[in-house]
Structure 1
Amino acid sequence: MLESSSSNNRIQVVFNRPVSVKQLNTLPEIVRTTSSSNLTTVFEELESLIGLHEAKKTIYEIYALIKMNKARERHGLKIEKQVFHMVFKGNPGTGKTTIARLFGKIFKEMGVLTKGHLTEVERADLVGEFIGHTAQKTRDLVKKAMGGILFIDEAYSLARGGEKDFGKEAVDCLTKCLEDFGNDFVCIIAGYNDEIDTFLELNPGLPSRFPVHINFADYEVDELMEIANVMAKNKEYRISAEASEKLRRRLLTVTSDPFQVNFSNARYVRNNIEKAIRVQAVRLLKIPDPTRDDLMNLKSEDFSI
């Protein structure tokens, strides 16, 4: 399923596939037997995602921690203050926004957040045009995110422009909001590995406020092919064997290219499928009355890669 985001007309890709009995059996027994139906549904959605192994592992760890803290509270044991602000590191198209949205749902169901909604922003949403404007914009977005997730994509862009750039003002204001309202929302910053590290150096108070770090690895070629087939199926297309082989060869080439940087992973696959659909449409114009199979089948010649 492709899920479009209204924010800045960007597209967030959700790699859902039908949940099989085998996949359901991989859910921890404690989730399936002791959680609400809503929470179980969220974890089923998590399990249906392709790849994302480190993210899934971290989600289960946080789930377990919240459950055990509630048990400790019932027994009168000490509970340390938990901070769940996070850093998501990885290339584009690796599922960062998808996981952020799932965290919101889980935190809502477990009582950590009251709403669990996702507020997705980038530099242009935070940085104003004159002194004082940036701080107000940042505070307004934090207010909008209260009870949910504030997801700052490409957060490292706030570090561009030097000391006099208003991006630093946004970072300073965000740091203050994390101090003042850190229990009322969860902030997730996302971006490339090295750039995110640079961002965290902008303010000495930032690193300690983001204790959870998750690395989003690039997808393996087999995973990308599975994503391609899911995308096509959700659009009611199918990729022929010859087309699949052509796409696989192309993926092997680009993923093994030592000069290929910041590979866009599932977005790359999505773009190729959408282009193939357009090429197929032109090809089918030559057929007076295309059949159902004609309309569904993406052939090798449709993938001009």
Structure 2
Amino acid sequence: RAWAGGFVEGAGGLLTSCDVVGTRLPALHLAAGAAPRLRRCRVLDCPAAFGGDGSAAPVLEQCDVDGVPLAFVGALQPPAVPAAPVLPGAPVLPGTPVLPGTPGVPAVPLPPAAAPAELPTAEPEEEHLDDLLAELATLVGLDRVKHDVQSMVKLMQAVRLREEAGLPAPPLSRHLVFAGNPGTGKTTVARLYGRLLKALGLLRRGHLVEVDRSALVGEYVGHTGPRTAAAFNRALGGVLFIDEAYSLVPESGGHDFGLEAVATLVKLMEDHRDDVVVIAAGYPADMARFVGSNPGLSSRFTRTLLFEDYSAADLVAIVEHQAREHRYELTGPARLRLLHHFETLPRGAGFGNGRSARQTFQEMTERQAQRMAEAVTPTPDQLSTLEPADLPAPVLG
């Protein structure tokens, strides 16, 4: 995670896959002429996305601010520095801003505070339901989850037809529990679920706001409710995805600020039941404890989708997908060796499913780069081919 940062005059460079969270000033300062490239970066709980100079020209790729696609707005100014109080009779240096009404000191006008950069409010592009279902079908593995989502889509289509015919809609809870181990595609499916509901006309925007305990629970009494409400409000019109939701409910019972977050969520889910979908995600056993901790949760989360671990063949398919995206190709022997690697890989607490597959692909490209650095004028085919030698060393024991 990244915190506040900036780019000096004329600076470039690439900032990728970073979160800028909870800053007091604008998330990123852009000096005159700065033209960095920001890829898959998120701004969360900040007063503004950008500060600095309007002549900057950042390039934004798949970035968002509080779940909304991020765009750069020019004509920015750095935030004004608040004036410090001056004691009566104390010397005042020229140019020092003085709070109005300080006795015995002539008032010096303060510079106007710069307004935060306007955040983009453009609605997401319209997407066709059939295209989204086709995208769902292309996901590696997850056969049970894909079947469940397709069934819910058909149910919601029937509900809409009843409403259009003037018939009462049957009781239907769109909130879901995603139970599964890390790296099994829960966030990916949650994002697609929101887009599906948008295509069905059941959500206004269909965007995803991802939070965890740290984004909902405050550090002192009276802090948790407003913090949870702020996160919830960002998700209105879309999906609030609560990762490791079970962490809001202590295993040992007793008082915990997480319980206040749960109570706040239950009330907000009722107040905005037609304008938001909440997805609570985490380990299967822990999610049962979470839902059972509050009657309001158990009445709202009536459907659980089970995300099973990926098979060895699924993990190979994920690596091959990554390879195609980055213009690599595995040889036949490398593919067989990779399958054996995943079949023998220990699946303990540190196993990350899809994350493990992506980490393996990254290690393969690094090892291949080392080979190519030692080669004499490698050909384009050699530079894009992954061999058995590029696989990680076998895990012993």
TM-score tier after normalising by the smaller chain length? 0.7 to 0.9
Q: Structure 1 residues 6, 107: closer, same or farther in 2, change over 3 A? A: farther
8 Å contact kept, 1:104–1:113: yes
Cα displacement string for residues 70-92 of structure 1 (whole angstroms, at most 9, x for unaligned residues):
22234333322422000001111
Is 2:216 aligned against 1:119?
Answer: no
Residue in 2 that maps onto 1:183 = 274
Residue in 1 that maps onto 2:389 = 301
Residues 1-305 of structure 1 aligned to structure 2 (within 5 Å): 7=19, 38-160=128-250, 162-254=253-345, 260-261=348-349, 263-305=351-393
User: One-letter code of the match for 1:273?
Assistant: F
Q: Structure 1 residues 268, 157: closer, same or farther in 2, change over 3 A? A: same
Q: Structure 1 residues 262, 198: closer, same or farther in 2, change over 3 A? A: farther
Distance 1:197 1:221 in 2: 28
Distance 2:143 2:17 in 1: 24
User: One-letter code of the match for 1:236?
Assistant: R
CA RMSD of aligned residues (A): 2.1
8 Å contact kept, 2:133–2:150: no
Q: Structure 1 residues 8, 196: closer, same or farther in 2, change over 3 A? A: farther
Residue in 2 that maps onto 1:31 = none
Q: Percent identity?
A: 39
Greater helix share, 1 or 2?
1
Partner SS, residue 66 of structure 1: helix
Distance 1:153 1:6 in 2: 18
8 Å contact kept, 2:212–2:244: yes
8 Å contact kept, 2:163–2:169: yes
Partner SS, residue 285 of structure 1: helix
User: One-letter code of the match for 1:272?
Assistant: T
8 Å contact kept, 2:127–2:199: no
8 Å contact kept, 2:327–2:384: yes
User: One-letter code of the match for 1:98?
Assistant: T
- Segments of 5+ residues of structure 1 without an aligned counterpart are 12-35
Residue in 1 that maps onto 2:116 = none
The TM-score with structure 1 as length reference comes to: 0.83
Distance 2:18 2:143 in 1: 28
Cα displacement string for residues 191-236 of structure 1 (whole angstroms, at most 9, x for unaligned residues):
1101111212332221111122100111122222112111111111
Distance 1:140 1:124 in 2: 13
Distance 2:214 2:360 in 1: 29
Give the CA deviation at 1:262. Answer: 6.6
8 Å contact kept, 1:7–1:120: no
Distance 2:303 2:174 in 1: 6
User: One-letter code of the match for 2:354?
Assistant: A
8 Å contact kept, 1:83–1:183: no
- Segments of 5+ residues of structure 2 without an aligned counterpart are 1-15, 22-39, 41-125
Give the CA deviation at 1:261. Answer: 4.3
Give the CA deviation at 1:296. Answer: 0.7
User: One-letter code of the match for 1:278?
Assistant: E
Give the CA deviation at 1:132. Answer: 1.2
Give the CA deviation at 1:136. Answer: 0.8
Cα displacement string for residues 230-273 of structure 1 (whole angstroms, at most 9, x for unaligned residues):
1111111112222222221121113xx5x734732111111011
Greater than 6 Å deviation, 4+ residue runs: none
Give the CA deviation at 1:8. Answer: 7.7
Give the CA deviation at 1:6. Answer: 5.1
8 Å contact kept, 1:88–1:216: yes
Distance 2:331 2:265 in 1: 49
8 Å contact kept, 1:155–1:189: yes
Distance 2:17 2:178 in 1: 19
Q: Structure 1 residues 37, 164: closer, same or farther in 2, change over 3 A? A: closer
